[in-house]
Amino acid sequence: MSNLQIGLAVVGGLVLAAVVAHGAWSSRRSEPRQATPQEPTNPHQAHEGIEPGLGDAAFDVAHFPVPVVEKRPVLDSLIDVIAPIALDSLVYGEAAQAAMPTTRRVGSKPFAIEGLNEESGRWETPAVGQRYSAFQTGVQLANRTGALNEIEYSEFVIKTQAFSDAVGGTPDFPEMLDEVARARELDQFASAHDAQLDFFVRARQSAWSPGYVQQNAALLGFVAGAMPGRMVLPASVAGLPPVLSLNFDTQAALAEDPAQSAIREITLGLDVPQVDRSERAYDRMRESAHALAKAMDGVVTDSNGVPLAGEAMDVFAAELQGMYNTLDERELSAGSALARRLFS
């Protein structure tokens, strides 16, 4: 074999090797990023990507004011139509339970019955072994489906009258037109103050596997949600709505081999009226978005894919403070039992 042939063979081999290497590199680059085994992490290291100016305090829930779980009757004249029911004699809880309707809704609105406990003097859902000196029924004036209408009010009257007849009571109904007008006014107020915010974190280059997303989100305190492709940041008090939600492609989470599922976008969501102001939900949402973007090589954007600058986020923060104040003034503070009912 001549020197020329040997040279050509060497060059050909190098070209082939380069093609194979490039193909392998391209293949690895296109594969979703995978979760990796983790050593125990210093809590401060988990948030190295946090935007300057807020820092670890945004995640340090141990130092947050703890929201107070309200213990109050379900019905409240602020957001409910209430019909008192007078009784000729005491009624046992067993009889009241037997007389209750099979559904606790009137159209699209929650319907409730409460009894005045003879012993405690408190309104409560009728319970076995208790005696009641009066009852009241109620239907919610508005929720996210809209305002109570005349048809729903009529159904409320029918259900209340049937219960009253069964327990030997006499109901006193408020004027329908007045209550429907009150429902419309409350619905208008709620619609104007129903803030549900989303930040998007989009991959710059390599896509992410579900495990990779879950691993990075877990470092910020997110836990698995009730549905595939959903994680939540729990509230400081058990039983309250989550502070934030994190969502990604459900189909990717349900795939036979999730490691090969490619995710290019995750959504961080905040349902403002559902979360107590003391949780500092917006700060934590903002910090989570930046921390995830830095850790996973992504960019924080709005729903149209436009990157969100710090100035825009500051504007949102100022607007939210005004909304919190307005809800407080209306006695519908964010995260309160009444606000959670109204904005549902």
Q: Which tens digit of pLDDT belongs to each residue from 206-258?
A: 999 999 999 999 999 999 999 999 999 999 999 999 999 999 999 988 888 87
Distances in whole angstroms, Cα of residue 102 to Cα of each of 64, 95, 106, 162: 42, 14, 11, 12
pLDDT at 33: 82
CA separation for the pair 79, 218 (Å, rounded)? 38
Residue type, 267: T
Q: What is the torsion angle, in degrees rounded to the nearest 10, for the CA atoms of residue 7, residue 9, residue 12 and residue 13?
A: -110
Residue labelled with tokens 């069964």? 166
Q: What does the DSSP assignment read for 235-271?
A: -SSTTSPPSEEEE--HHHHHSSSGGG--B-EEEEEEE
Question: Tens digit of pLDDT for each residue in 103-134?
Answer: 999 999 999 999 999 999 999 999 999 999 99
In 64-212, DSSP assigns E strands to: 80-92, 105-106, 109-117, 123-124, 131-140, 142-143, 146-147, 169-171, 196-203
**262, 206 contact by CB (below 8 A):** no
Mean pLDDT of all residues in 151-169:
98
Task: Say how far residue 150 (Cα) sits from the centre of its chain.
Answer: 31
pLDDT of residue 67: 54
Please enumerate in sequence order all residues whose Cβ is within 8 A of that of 198, keeping only pairs 6 or more positions apart, or say none: 267, 268, 269, 270, 303
Backbone angles phi, psi at 343, to 5 degrees: -95, 60
Residue 321 has pLDDT above 70, yes or no: yes
Question: What are the residues facing 49 on neighbouring strands?
Answer: none
| Domains of the chain in sequence order | 80-191 (3.30.1400.10), 193-342 (3.30.1400.10)
Q: Strand, coil or helix: what is 279? A: helix
Lowest average pLDDT, out of 14-18, 36-40, 85-89, goes to: 14-18
Question: Residue 324: what residue type?
Answer: Y
For the entire predicted model, the pTM comes to: 0.80
Maximum average pLDDT range among 16-25, 72-81, 192-201, 259-268: 192-201
State residue 38's pLDDT score: 61
Give the rounded distance of the alpha carbon of 251 from its chain centre.
Answer: 21
